[in-house]
A and B are shown apart, each in its own frame.
Chain A
Amino acid sequence: MQPLERLVNLVALLLDAHRVLTFDDIRERMPEAYEQEDLDTAKRMFERDKGILRDIGVPIEVMATDAWESEQGYAIAKDAYYLPEIAFTPQEISALFVAAHAGREGSSAEEAVRKLLYGAQGGILVGVSGFALATDGVPDARLTAAAEAVAAQRSVRFRYRTSRGVEGERRADAYGLAVRGGSWYLVGLDRDRGEIRSFRLSRVSSDLTDVGEGSVPPEGFRAADHVQVGPWGPGEPQERARVAFSPEVAWWATKGLQGAEVLKERADGWVEVAVPNGPGEGLASWVLSFGPDAVALEPEELRRDVIRRLEATLAVR
C-alpha cells in the first residue's frame, strides 16, 4: 500500500469516527495499512504517520477512551480540523486571490487562499488578472515573523542598521506593522530607548529572535502614526508652498501628489502649483530633483534653501 493511500485512509477514518479510537481499533479497521505482525513495528509506522499528519496541520489528539482513563486513543477534533465557514463575496475572494498571488510563487499566502476557495462560486476566478507586488527585499519569512510577534504581543531582538548607516542591536516590544510606499515597518517600544520607534524591515540585518512577552501598546495606538515619510518625497504636509513647473514635467509633478493643487497655468506654459511643505529641507531637495524644470516661488525660506544648495554645489568649481 502506498504511503499516501495509507495517510488518506487514516485521516478519513479519524474524521468519520464518532469516538476515540485506540491503536488496536485503527489496526483492526485498516488491516492492510498496519499489517506488520510485530505490534511494535506496526506501532512505529503509525507513530510516523501521526507525525506527518501533525506536521501538515492535522490536529490529532491523544486522549483517554473513557472516563476511567484506562486506555489511550486517538481522535481528530473536528472544530480544530475544519476551516470555519466564511462567506466571501465573489469580489472578495477574487481580491484575496490576487493579493495572495502578488508575491513570490509558492508562498504560504497562496496556500492559504487555496483553502478558502472551496466555498467560492465556480468560475469566478476565470480571467482574474494579477500583478506582482515586490516587497523591498524583505524575505517573506522575516515579514511573517514580525507579523507573528505583533499578533502575539511578543518582544523581539534583532540587528538593525539605521537610515544613516549605524548598525547595532535592538530589542523591541512588537506593537504593530505599517506599510508605507511598498516598505514594511515594525513599530514597537524600543526597550533601550524607552520610546516607540519604527524599524524598516529591509534594514533589519538578522532574524527576529523572540525574547519573551512584550508590553501592551498605549490606548489609541496606530502603527502608521510612527512612520516618517522618506527623504525622497516632498516631506510631511504641514503648510503649503508655491512651486512652478515647466510644461515638460508639470503634469507628472502634480499628479498623484497628495495635497497638491494647480493654481494657474502661465502664458509661457509653466504651471504654478501649491504643494504641501514640511519642516526640514525635504521640499527644497525635491524641487531640485526637477533641475531647471522647477522653480520654488514661496515661501522665501524655501527659495533661500534651494539657492543655498545650488550655491554649495557651484562653490566646488
Chain B
Amino acid sequence: MPSADRKKAPKASERLRRLLVVVPYLVQHPGTELTEVTRLFGVPEEALVEDLRLLFVSGLPPYGPGDLIDVDIQDGRVWVRMADYFGRPLHLTRSEAIALYVRGAALAAMSDVPEAPALDSALAKLADGLGPETLGELPQRIHAAGGGRSADTLEALRAATAGHEKIRIEYYAASSAATTVREIDPEEILYAIGNWYVVAWDHRSDEERLFRADRVRTVEPTGERFEPRGLAGVGRPLYTRGEADAQVRLLLSPDARWVAEYYETEEQLERPGGSLEVVMPAGRLEWAERLVLRLSGAAEVLGPPQLKDRVLELAGRTRELYG
C-alpha cells in the first residue's frame, strides 16, 4: 500500500496514455532493457514496472490464461506478448504532430547541425504519412530564413560534451575583445537567441562560463576526461552574474530597443516616447563600450559613470583610424 508521504501517483489517464505508447515499442522490440525504455520514454523504472505488472492481468474477455497480455521481466529486460492489438501506437494528436514539426523545422533550419538533412526528409515523410488532416497547410508554410552565425567547431564541441572530454580552445571573448587560449570542461550545448553556446567549466578563471560556439576558433583535444559538475543547461540565464560585476544601465531610444531582445537584461522599464531603460550585468565594460559606440546617439549611458568616459575614449581612438 502506498504510504502517505509517497509522491502522488499519476492519474490512471496519464498512465494509460503512457502505456499505449510504451507497449507497442515493447511488442516490436522483445527483450528491451528497462533502462533503455526509461531513457526513451522518460518514465522512471519503478513506475514502468508497476504499470507493466498491471498489464499482466489485463487482456481480453473471458480473461483466461490464454487471453491475458504476457509480460515477462527478467534480468532487467522486458518482453510483452499476446497484445497484438497494441502492436501499433495511438495516432499522433494534432498538437503533438504540430509541436514536433515545428521543433524539427527549427533545427533543420540550422545549416551547422549535421542532423539537418535527415530531419528534412523525416519531416517530409511525417507530413506525407500523417496526411493533410493532421498538419494541414503547415508543411508548405513554414520556412527558415537563415540568420545567426554558423559555428564550424560545433561538431567537435558536441563530441567533447558527449564524451566528457577536456579540451583546449582558442576563444574570442566579446567581453574583453580579445582572443585567448583556455582549457574547458564542456558540459552542455544550447542554442539561444540565434547562437550556439557551450556551458563549461573554465580552468583559466576556475569558474563556470558560457562560451559562444561561433567564437571558438579551434578545438584541440587534451586526452583528459572530466567528471561533470552538473552545470545548468537549457533555461539558464545566458549570463551568470558575478560578484564583481558592474550594472550597466542604458536608456534605449526606439531605434535601439533591439538590444533588449538580443542581450540578456536584468531589468526592463518602459519610458516615455517608446524608450526603454535596461539594466545589464557586465563583468567587464569592454563589450558595453562597444555596444554604446555602435548605437551612437540611440542609447544614453545612465551608469556606471566611468562607462561614459570610456565610450568617449574608445570613440576617439576609433576616429583616429579615419584620419
* A residues in contact (CB < 8 Å) with B: 2-5, 7-9, 11-13, 15-16, 29-30, 32, 52-53, 55-59, 80-89, 91-96, 98-100, 102-119, 122-123, 125-127, 129, 131-136, 140, 143-144, 147-148, 150-153, 163-166, 175-185, 202-203, 217, 221-224, 227, 229-233, 248-249, 251-252, 255-258, 285-286, 288-293, 295, 303, 306-307, 309-314, 316-317
Contacts and interface: CB of A to CB of B under 8 A. Distances in A.
B322 A303 contact: yes
Contacts of B104: 95-96, 99-100
Interface stretch (B147-155, B203-211, B220-228, B239-247): B147-155
B4 interface: no
Contacts of B95: 108, 144, 148
Nearest to B105: A179
Interface in B124-152: 125-126, 128-131, 135-138, 141-152
A118 B89 contact: yes
B142 A310 contact: no
Contacts of B188: 131-132
B214 A164 contact: no
Given A11-B20, A232-B262, A4 B15 contact: yes
Contact of B21 (A98, A115, A179): A115
B143 A178 contact: yes
Contact of B135 (A56, A123, A151): A151
B165 interface: no
Contacts of A115: 21, 89-92, 96
Contacts of A249: 172, 177, 179
Contact of B99 (A140, A227, A231): A140
A313 to B, nearest CB: 4
A84 B130 contact: yes
B125 A164 contact: no
A135 B102 CA distance: 11
B190 A251 contact: no
A165 B172 contact: no
A113 B119 CA distance: 13
Given A202-B261, A292-B318, A303-B322, A112 B275 contact: no
Q: What does DSSP make chain B's interface, helix, strand, loop or mixed? A: helix
Given A132-B235, A314-B319, 10 more contacts: A5-B57, A8-B58, A9-B60, A30-B61, A95-B122, A147-B99, A252-B215, A289-B293, A292-B318, A311-B319
B182 to A, nearest CB: 16
Contacts of B12: 2-4, 7, 52
Contacts of B189: 131-132
Contacts, number: 412
B107 A118 contact: no
A230 B22 CA distance: 44
Given A86-B125, A112-B97, A230 B258 contact: yes
B19 to A, nearest CB: 7
Interface residues of B, number: 136
B234 A312 contact: no
A32 B63 CA distance: 10
Given A5-B54, A314-B315, A147 B98 contact: yes
28 contacts: A8-B58, A9-B58, A11-B16, A30-B61, A52-B16, A57-B91, A58-B90, A85-B129, A95-B122, A108-B99, A114-B21, A129-B159, A129-B161, A132-B190, A136-B192, A147-B99, A150-B136, A164-B255, A165-B270, A165-B276, A176-B141, A183-B193, A183-B194, A288-B290, A288-B293, A313-B297, A313-B312, A317-B312
B45 interface: no
B130 to A, nearest CB: 7
Contact of B29 (A122, A185, A222): A122
A307 B323 CA distance: 10
B130 A291 contact: no
Q: Top 4 A-B pairs ranked by shortest CB distance?
A: A132-B234, A151-B136, A181-B194, A181-B147
B24 interface: yes
B74 interface: no
B123 to A, nearest CB: 8
B118 A89 contact: yes
A73 B138 CA distance: 36
A252 B214 contact: yes
B283 interface: no
Interface string B294-318: 1111000000000000011011111
Nearest to A289: B294
Contacts of A248: 172, 177-179
Given A181-B147, A252-B172, A306 B16 contact: no
B85 A16 contact: yes
Contact of A291 (B20, B138, B317): B317
Contacts of A153: 136-137
B296 A94 contact: no
Contacts of A123: 36
B103 A136 contact: no
A126 B144 CA distance: 30
Contact of A84 (B129, B215, B257): B129
Nearest to A140: B99
B3 interface: no
B177 A257 contact: no
Interface in B53-101: 54-55, 57-63, 69, 83, 85-86, 88-101
